[in-house]
Structure 1
Amino acid sequence: MTVMVRDLPADERPREKLLTYGASSLGNAELLAILLRTGTQQASVLHIAEEVLARYRDRGIVELVNMAPQELAEIKGVGLAKAATVVAAIELGRRLSMKAAEHVEAVHGPEDAARYAIPRLRHEQREHFVAMLLDRRNHILAMRDVSIGSQSASVVHPREVFRLAIQHSAASLIVLHNHPSGDPTPSQEDVAVTQRLVDAGKIMDIPVLDHIVLGGDKFISLKEEGMVQ
Structure 2
Amino acid sequence: MRGEIMDYQNNLKALDDHELLTAFFNYQDQSNQHGLELGTNFWNMFPTFADYKLAQRSQKEQMVLTAGKRFLQLMIGIEIGQRIASAPRPLLGKIFSSQQVGENLIAEFRNDQQESLCLLCLDVKHRIISQQVIFKGTLTTCPVHPGEIFAIALERHAETILVAHNHPSGMVEPSKNDIEFTKRLDQCGQLMGINLLDSFVIGQQDYLSMREANLIETD
Establish whether residue 212 from structure 1 lines up as the match of residue 200 from structure 2.
Answer: yes
1:163 Cα deviation from its structure 2 partner: 1.3
Structure 1 length as normaliser, TM-score?
A: 0.68
Establish whether residue 85 from structure 1 lines up as the match of residue 78 from structure 2.
Answer: no
Cα distance in 1, alignment partners of residues 55 and 143 from structure 2:
24
Establish whether residue 23 from structure 1 lines up as the match of residue 12 from structure 2.
Answer: yes
Establish whether residue 74 from structure 1 lines up as the match of residue 63 from structure 2.
Answer: yes
Matches within 5 A, 1:1-229: 19=8, 22-37=11-26, 44=37, 47-48=40-41, 50-51=43-44, 54=47, 60=50, 64=53, 71=60, 74=63, 79-92=68-81, 94-95=83-84, 98=87, 101-102=89-90, 104-114=92-102, 116-117=104-105, 121-122=109-110, 124-216=112-204, 218-229=206-217
CA contact (8 A) 1:165 1:173 kept: yes
Q: Show structure 1 runs of 5+ residues with no match.
A: 1-17
Cα distance in 1, alignment partners of residues 65 and 18 from structure 2:
16
Percent of aligned positions with the same letter in both sequences?
22
Structure 2 length as normaliser, TM-score?
A: 0.71
Q: Show structure 2 runs of 5+ residues with no match.
A: 1-6
1:217 Cα deviation from its structure 2 partner: 5.6
Cα distance in 2, alignment partners of residues 72 and 109 from structure 1:
46
1:168 Cα deviation from its structure 2 partner: 0.4
Residues 44 and 132 of structure 1: CA distance in aligned 2, closer, same or farther (over 3 Å): same
CA contact (8 A) 1:36 1:78 kept: no
CA contact (8 A) 1:36 1:86 kept: no
Cα distance in 2, alignment partners of residues 53 and 182 from structure 1:
24
What is the root-mean-square deviation in Å for CA atoms of aligned residues?
3.8
Residues 77 and 113 of structure 1: CA distance in aligned 2, closer, same or farther (over 3 Å): farther
CA contact (8 A) 1:104 1:116 kept: no
1:195 Cα deviation from its structure 2 partner: 1.2
Q: Which amino acid aligns with 1:181?
A: S
Cα distance in 1, alignment partners of residues 87 and 103 from structure 2:
10
Cα distance in 2, alignment partners of residues 65 and 39 from structure 1:
29
Cα distance in 2, alignment partners of residues 96 and 146 from structure 1:
19
RCO comparison, higher one (Cα < 8 Å, 6+): 2
Residues 111 and 82 of structure 1: CA distance in aligned 2, closer, same or farther (over 3 Å): farther
The aligned residue for residue 11 of structure 1 is none
